[in-house]
Amino acid sequence: MANQEYKIEGKGSYESTSFELNTVDPQEPSRQLHGGHPRRSIDEAPEEFPVKTVFPTPRTTFGWGAHESVGEEAAALGMDHALIVTTGLSGTGIVDSVTDILDDADVASSVYDGVTSNPKDFEVHEAYELQQEDGADGIVALGGGSSIDCAKGVRLVEAHDGRDITEFEGVDKAENPSNLPMIAVSTTAGTGSETTIYSVISDTDEQYKMALADLGMLNSVAIVDPALHRTMPPHLTAWTGMDALTHAVEAYVSRLGVKSNRAMAIEAIRLVAENLPQAYANGNDREARENMAWAQFLAAQSFNSAGLGIVHPMAHVLGGVYDLPHGLCNSIALPAAMEYEVPATPELFADITERGFGVDTSDMTEMEAAYRAVEEVEKLKADLNITQTWDQIGMQEEDLEKCSNYAFEDFCTEGTPRDLDPATIADLFMVNFDEPWVRYDPSEEPSRITL
Ligand SMILES: [Fe+2]
């Protein structure tokens, strides 16, 4: 049993001696996307992930009014009858608008509007049943990550004659190519799911979120329209924006080292830092909304190949166990995880401070500049009035063992730049479990937003 202690300066820590955590099995690397968890043996090659994979992204229509092209795109893909997969987007009028646009292009449609946040396995199958009943020959995913991830699952299930979606957890589990063309229209600025090969679906029997990665799930076309993002209320703008920031930070420092995607990640961080507070404070700020649309798009394209880190597995677990909002969970986990990771790659975190957050680091050491990135994230969270602790949003300490083990098993852990095990993850949960852990005290400096 792992029994190690990780301590963030100035705060208590969790010593993992009260329960059994999974031990690391060096013989079982198959769950990993790029070939193995960073385990050490004397026979291992000195370079981790020596062969990189850069995954494709779909053709994308981007800009104000882009969603109006959904009809012609569907027709061009050969759709006669589209299944719209959505949460319903209540009160926005978006579903009716897209239905009308499809109709004008002579594409009939059925609407599955049963998707919920942290999309569930049975929702994938309900949507699949509707697709089968109505003979839909294509899919239009309409919403944030939940709707798009659910639609990706439908595509996978349909290609395998209705097999259970839980059979496809992991990497490259599809045996058949997808038959249904799919258009993903994003209505939030955070997930980036419209441009990735990933889907995250809740396994309701096991009460956790499965991560799936498969080229067969990649949608045919993506549509990113900032006009739709304006319908988000402030708290959703904040949470989804912090999801985008987390994608970018985790991709930038990922130990997978996909350098081609770092430029996208650092630009995404810069755009979030400069625009998320404004988009949150004024949902009609056109420039801020457009820049956040680019930010989430760039961040997702970056992690599509560069992978993520431990923040996402922690958020996946809490989404599955408690049905908590993904972006909010990322926001709570991110600063302490960065603090833990800085010693592994200070040069990259220093880059985030200087090039991402625009801080003059000329009078700082590299390590000082690196830790400053943690403070910049904390300042951003303060501007967005984001919750600081896990127990405020409903996590129970009695679930710590389960949550830590599940998070470790998530293949997204592989990008974490600093070595970790389930005991470390338990420590990361506990460090701001019931009181905030912060490097920077927001009360010492007024918000950059004048309310
Ligand atoms: Fe995310």
Q: Which CATH number fits domain 234-444: 3.40.50.720, 3.90.550.10, 2.30.30.90, 1.20.1090.10?
A: 1.20.1090.10
Separation of CA 316 and ligand 1 centre (Å):
9
Alpha helices in 356-395 (DSSP H): 366-383
Q: What is the pLDDT of residues 275-328, one digit of tens each?
A: 999 999 999 999 999 999 999 999 999 999 999 999 999 999 999 999 999 999
pLDDT value of position 54: 93
How much distance in Å is there from the Cα of 146 to the middle of ligand 1? 11
> Distance between CA atoms of 53 and 56, rounded to whole angstroms?
10
Start-end of H helices in 170-212: none
Q: Output the pLDDT for position 329.
A: 97
46 Cα: distance to centroid of ligand 1 (angstroms): 30
pLDDT at 443: 61
Q: Are 264 and 298 in contact (CB under 8 A)?
A: yes
Q: Please give the distance, rounded to the nearest whole angstrom, from the Cα atom of residue 18 to the centre of ligand 1.
A: 31
What spacing in Å lies between the alpha carbon of 240 and ligand 1's midpoint?
8
Report the distance separating Cα 128 and Cα 161, nearest Å.
Answer: 10
Extract the tokens encoding 219: 């949608």
Give residue 347 CA to ligand 1 midpoint distance, Å.
24
- Mean pLDDT across the chain: 89
Q: Ligand 1 centroid to 413 CA: how many Å?
A: 13
Å from CA of 390 to ligand 1 middle: 18
How far apart CA 351 and CA 366 sit, in angstroms, is: 9
Which pLDDT belongs to residue 43?
Answer: 63
Reduced 3-state DSSP string for 57-120: CCEEEECCCHHHHHHHHHHHCCCCEEEEEECCCCCCCHHHHHHHHHHHCCCEEEEECCCCCCCE
Among 326, 329, 299, 304, CA closest to 202 = 326
For residue 39, the CA-to-ligand 1 centroid distance in Å is 25
How many degrees, rounded to 5, is the angle at CA 31 between CA 29 and CA 34?
75
pLDDT in tens, the chain (451 residues): 333 444 444 333 444 334 445 444 434 433 444 444 445 566 655 677 888 899 999 999 999 999 999 999 999 999 999 999 999 998 899 999 999 999 999 999 999 999 999 999 999 999 999 999 999 999 999 999 999 999 999 999 999 999 999 999 998 999 999 889 999 999 999 999 999 999 999 999 988 889 999 998 999 999 999 999 999 999 999 999 999 999 999 999 999 999 999 999 999 999 999 999 999 999 999 999 999 999 999 999 999 999 999 999 999 999 999 999 999 999 999 999 999 999 999 999 999 999 999 999 999 999 999 999 999 999 999 999 998 899 999 999 999 999 999 999 998 999 999 999 999 999 999 999 998 888 876 566 555 443 3
**What's the gap in Å between 339 CA and the centre of ligand 1?**
19
The per-residue pLDDT for 122 is: 98
Domain ranges of the chain: 63-229, 234-444
Ligand 1 mean position, distance from CA 99 (Å): 28
| Alpha carbon of 442 to ligand 1 centroid (Å) | 25
Kindly state the DSSP code that residue 216 receives in the 8-state scheme: G
Distance 326 CA to ligand 1 centre (A): 7
State residue 24's pLDDT score: 45
- What is the whole-number distance in angstroms between the Cα of residue 356 and the centre of ligand 1? 19
Sorted by sequence, the CB contacts under 8 Å of residue 440 that are 6+ apart come out as 374, 375, 378, 379
* Res 109: pLDDT: 97
Strand residue runs (E) in 136-227: 138-143, 170-171, 182-186, 198-203, 208-213, 221-224
35 torsion bin: left (phi>0), alpha (psi -120 to 50), beta (else):
left
| 252 CA → ligand 1 middle, Å | 14
Task: Report CA(250)–ligand 1 centroid distance (Å).
Answer: 10
Burial state string for 372-388 with b = 16 or more CB within 10 A and e = fewer than 16? bbbbbbbbbbbbbebeb
CATH entry 3.40.50.1970 includes domain 63-229: yes
| 435 in Cβ contact with 16 (< 8 Å) | no
d(CA 302, CA 201): 21
Separation of 247 CA from ligand 1 center, angstroms? 6
| Distance of CA 414 from the midpoint of ligand 1 (Å) | 15
Which pLDDT belongs to residue 206? 87
Find all residues with CB under 8 Å of 278, minimum gap 6, and list them: 285, 287, 288
